[in-house]
Amino acid sequence: MAGPDKRRDGTGSRGSRLLGVGALVSVAALIVLAFVATDADVRTHPTTGEEFGQFDAVRMLYLHVPLAVLMYVAFVVCAVASAGVLLRRTAWWDVTAYAAAEVGTVLCGLVLVTGSIWGRPVWNTWWEWGDVRLMTTLVLFLLFVGYLALRRTTTDPRLQARRAAVVALVAVLDIPLINRSVAWWENRTLHQQSTLAELKIEDLTLFTLMFGFLAFGLVAWWLLVHRFRVGWLEQAATDHDVAIALAERRFETSATDLDAAIGRRDNREDPV
Amino acid sequence: MTHAGYLVAGWGISLVVLGGYALGLVRRGRRLAPRVPVDRRRWIDSPGSDRG
């Protein structure tokens, strides 16, 4: 006897399952590229002959840089959807904004952690409080943690959506500051200028970094799709529960009216 | 020079967090889905098929 199709019981679909398989295969291929195919960053000083560079720590950048860029993308999606919430006031925009904010916050947390772990061998420090890029990224993370906390403070969904949308639109103003901080505060950051924009890397290193964008892009897309569907299910479940409660209330009221009507009729019919 | 410990920590934490978050989403979806009629799940077209 065939049982219920388990695959239909959640947020999965044929497309999202394909996306998930693609993401897993890409991340596996990225690990091979990052740890086996590419070399460590070892350069030799032209006069002293001393070795310098990031050595094996460069392999962390195939993870850290794509996560950072995808974090920007997720928060920008959140901001666009938040603008949609304020302009259109539909559930679709709100669910999208909430999903992008949650995925972006997870990515932002990982960017801070992986950056700190990379910084220890390369900069000889876990964290530098005076570094403008680190601090503006931390501020962005805390702003979106606040956003997620705000979404739990009220049960009125419309009020919650509007308040969260305003916070998101303010929070994303931090993104240009993070992105331009290495140029605007050149002397107050340990970060280097954009390596990609000036094409200081090439060949397999560049390919692996680009492949990292693809692999983690698929992962982030999968997370966003499933987080959207979870949010959609939450809203639909609430609406469904309310609809059932209203129907039951109407039924009770009708039954009470019916009882009252029957009572009146019986009173008229029964001789005293 | 090897930085194996840093690499294992950085990649390991990231993959575990992303995997755990993905698993959490799947579980949340499975818990919520029975409370919602199939026709409200917009990613499913009809009882016989679904779309991405």
Tell me what ipTM this predicted complex has.
Answer: 0.85
Cα of B23 to nearest chain A Cα, Å: 10
Is A13 in contact with B50 (Cβ distance < 8 A)?
Answer: yes
Name the DSSP letter for residue A128.
Answer: -
Is A229 in contact with B52 (Cβ distance < 8 A)?
Answer: no
Q: How many residues does chain A have?
A: 272
Closest residue in chain B to residue A126, using alpha carbons only:
B6
Residue A46 contacts residue A213 (beta carbons within 8 Å): no
A91 touching B (Cβ < 8 Å): no
| pTM across the whole model | 0.86
Closest residue in chain B to residue A59, using alpha carbons only:
B7
Say which of A27, A120, A232 has its CB closest to residue B42: A232
Dump pLDDT digits (tens) for A113-124.
Answer: 999 999 999 888
Number of residue pairs across A and B with CB atoms under 8 Å?
Answer: 124
CA distance linking residue A211 with residue A205, whole number of Å: 10
Dump pLDDT digits (tens) for B1-52.
Answer: 578 999 999 999 999 999 999 999 999 999 999 888 877 777 765 444 444 4
Q: Mention every residue, 6+ apart, whose C-beta is less than 8 A from residue A126.
A: A116, A117, A119, A120
What's the distance, CA A14 to chain centroid?
22
Is B50 in contact with A120 (Cβ distance < 8 A)?
Answer: no
